[in-house]
Amino acid sequence: MPVFGSFSLLLALALCGYTLLAGAFALRQLAIRARTRISPERLAETARRAGIASFFATSAAAFALVWAAFTNDFSVSYILHHSNRALPGPYKFAALWSGQEGSLLLWAWLLATYGFVLRLRHKVDVRLTAYASTILAGVQVFFLLLLNFAAPPFALVQGAAPADGFGLNPLLQYPEMVIHPPMLYLGYVGFTVPFAFALGALMMRYPGEKWIHITRRWTMVTWLFLTCGIFLGAHWAYSVLGWGGYWAWDPVENASLMPWLTGTAFLHSVMMQEKRGMMKNWNVWLIFSTFMLSILGTLLTRSGLVSSVHAFAQSSIGSWFYAFLFIVLVVCIFTFILQRDHLKSDHKIESLVSRESSFLFNNLIFLAACFTILWGTLFPVLSEYVQGSKVTVGAPWYNRIAVPIGLGLLALMGLGPLLAWRSSSLRSIRRNFVLPCIATITTAVALLAIGERPWQDQGPLYSFVAFSVAAGVITAISSEFLRGAHVLKVQTGRNIFAATLLLIQRNTRRYGGYIVHFGVVVIFIGLAGSAFNRSTEQEMDFRQSMQVGPYTLVCQDYTQDTNPNYDSEYALLDVYRNGKKVTQLAPEKRFYVASQQVSTMVANHSTLVWDLYVIYAGQNPDTNHPIIKVFLNPLVAWIWIGVVIVILGTLVALVPNLTTVLSPARARHRAKGSARPLVSEPATLRGGD
């Protein structure tokens, strides 16, 4: 199988190399309308088919590695270091992305999958897809070069194969780790598609905004994957790492957040281009930056440039990423300079108080947040260069600098949708803003009345602002729904709920977006609760109890257990509230045999108000009694609820509008008859000229 895997990777490289070279040559011939013996259209078609075939070759390589894991083929060095015989099946599958070589293979495979779908759907616009396919092949070639020459996943161990492997990192032996990395990678890798379309559209001077329509769903789906990946990672950290939090501002976490921020900015500002033909330069650079930040994040963590708990050991592949990033940057700058006259805006901003301005500010805040995180992540490197010593830029720094920016974004999320396109009249501002302002002020007063003291410390201040502004934003979003539903209720005679549903169906993108905003507000409410986290630690004997907030924990038992994969120590704790037993928790400490590492299994009793988060911190060596650490974390459940709402909102926004579904012919007719001429879809490569 290792030979089969290695051969598949070589074959994939050859196929992608052909897609890149033949595709680029054919597109060049088409651009200069050269006459050659082989028609450029046919050459481009062979390039497309080679690209499709590369998907099968890369899939075969990925399959070979998974097969090696399931068959305990410890002659493969990667399997030896990331699996063992006692490892449960799902985690053997997860071994594919638990190390550097495997995760690069996963990246290459996901890229090949995206490329496969893109090349199959080439009829949406043959020529633009040919450009995108060629650019995508360029990125594929880079990852396949890495896999074939710098980080080969099928490298064999020297001498006889050991009888058993070293096992999977215990922190990765958790159900969410089976889906978190693929989700994150689907997000990272997915941004290659809109990047390829944007660069391709710029190279071929693609007329109009159709490339944005083509890539909109790609971008949204990618954004959704990245969002899921980030929050699954946060949930994993909360459930496994056992320090009571979900976000530590670790460089790897930051690396995932940066492309998310620029990608979100792109999703917003691209609406300006669609609706008003504005911000074309900006959008092109946003998507370029998003792709480059995905690569930069990988570079940061794999080159050993910054230290992280997630980072793979320092390796030589950092220089490959430097080179690739440099090439991408040069290509982007070169193309932009050559074609920048193609990106002139159709309209200008007419008023500072308009939807357009709010998008500008929204983009500014997203980029400021992204810059802040990049600055914080790279400052230790800069400090070492300038001062000769590294410093740590950790949670206290980000809480002070990045959180206020986040709160600004929260406020803008409520303000933006209330402003009209082009210009908002004073009257409409007054009318739209009265209710949200009342809600904000009322919430602030209520918080003060129930005893919140924002002036005491930074945490309570941020949470006070977050709760108050969140109330205003929720009111603004609700009023948008109610206003639209009221119109439909009058028009159709339906009740308000049916009218709301119809409203969403008629403009899924707009109201799906509002649902996403609502989800983000709910996430902010959950995050704001962290200002009131409490924790306590106690050694506990049989029947001994400890009090945390309204809960009483009574130790019923503590014991040890063993199985082939790990030995464990755990305590059984009955949880009482108001004298009534509510649940039993079993915090656990595991010692994994193969990897000789210790891992914490958190026991969590989650409610909508707070999480009772219990950790088995260890044993007192003198008494052998367990030491139990308990956190009472308010409102954490709302973070995960908010994420679900965000997912639902994105799915709604992805669904076509009801009118388009019911009457596609009418929609087409309307599009043809619109004042702004749409570009006719070229049926062939020549047709796009």
Sites of contact with other proteins (CB under 8 A): 242-245, 248, 250, 307-309, 347-352, 357, 360-361, 364-365, 367-368, 371-372, 375-376, 379-380, 383, 386-387, 389-397, 400-402, 405, 420, 424-425, 427-428, 431-432, 457, 483, 486-487, 490-491, 589, 598, 600, 615, 617-618, 629
Residue 440 beta carbon to other proteins: minimum distance, rounded to whole angstroms: 20
Identify the DSSP state of 76: B
DSSP 416-448: GGGSPSS---HHHHHHHHHHHHHHHHHHHHHHH
Nearer to other proteins, 431 or 668 (CB): 431
Q: What are phi and psi of 631, to 5 degrees?
A: -110, 140
In the bound complex, what is the minimum distance in angstroms from residue 437's beta carbon to other proteins? 16
d(CA 381, CA 387) in angstroms, rounded, equals: 10
Structure tokens given for 641: 């609820």
CA 569-575-577 angle, 5° bins: 165
CB of 387 to other proteins, least distance (A): 5
Cα separation, 507 vs 510, whole angstroms: 6
Neighbouring-strand partners of residue 568:
561, 590
Report d(CA 199, CA 292) in Å as an integer: 13
- Whichever of 153 and 244 has its CB closer to other proteins, that residue is 244
Q: Which of 127, 28, 22 is nearest to 683 (CA)?
A: 127
Q: Which helix (H) or strand (E) holds 577?
A: strand 566-577
Instruction: Kindly state the smallest distance separating residue 375's Cβ from other proteins, in Å.
Output: 6
Nearest to other proteins of 54, 372 (CB atom): 372
Q: Kindly tell me which of 44 and 279 has the beta carbon lying closer to other proteins.
A: 279
Least separation in angstroms between residue 264's CB and other proteins is: 16
State the first-to-last Cα distance of the chain, in angstroms, to the nearest integer: 47
Nearer to other proteins, 180 or 629 (CB): 629
Rounded to a whole number of angstroms, the minimum distance from the CB of residue 303 to other proteins is 17
CA within 13 Å, CB half, 606:
15
Tokens 């950092």 correspond to 318
- Which amino acid does the sequence have at 420? A
Q: Please say which residue, 205 or 340, places its beta carbon nearer to other proteins.
A: 340
**Cβ distance 543 to 555 under 8 Å?**
yes
Q: Which is nearer to other proteins, 195 or 570 (CB)?
A: 570
Shortest Cβ 597–other proteins spacing (Å)? 11
Q: How far is the CB of 383 from other proteins (least distance, A)?
A: 7
Instruction: Name which of 209 and 250 has its Cβ closer to other proteins.
Output: 250
Instruction: Give the up-direction half-sphere exposure of residue 660: CA atoms within 13 A in the CB hemisphere.
Output: 11
Instruction: Give the integer Cα–Cα distance in Å for 473 and 165.
Output: 53
Question: Which residue, 39 or 351, is less far from other proteins as judged by CB?
Answer: 351
Query: Least Å distance between CB 356 and other proteins?
Result: 9
106 neighbors 93 (Cβ within 8 angstroms): no
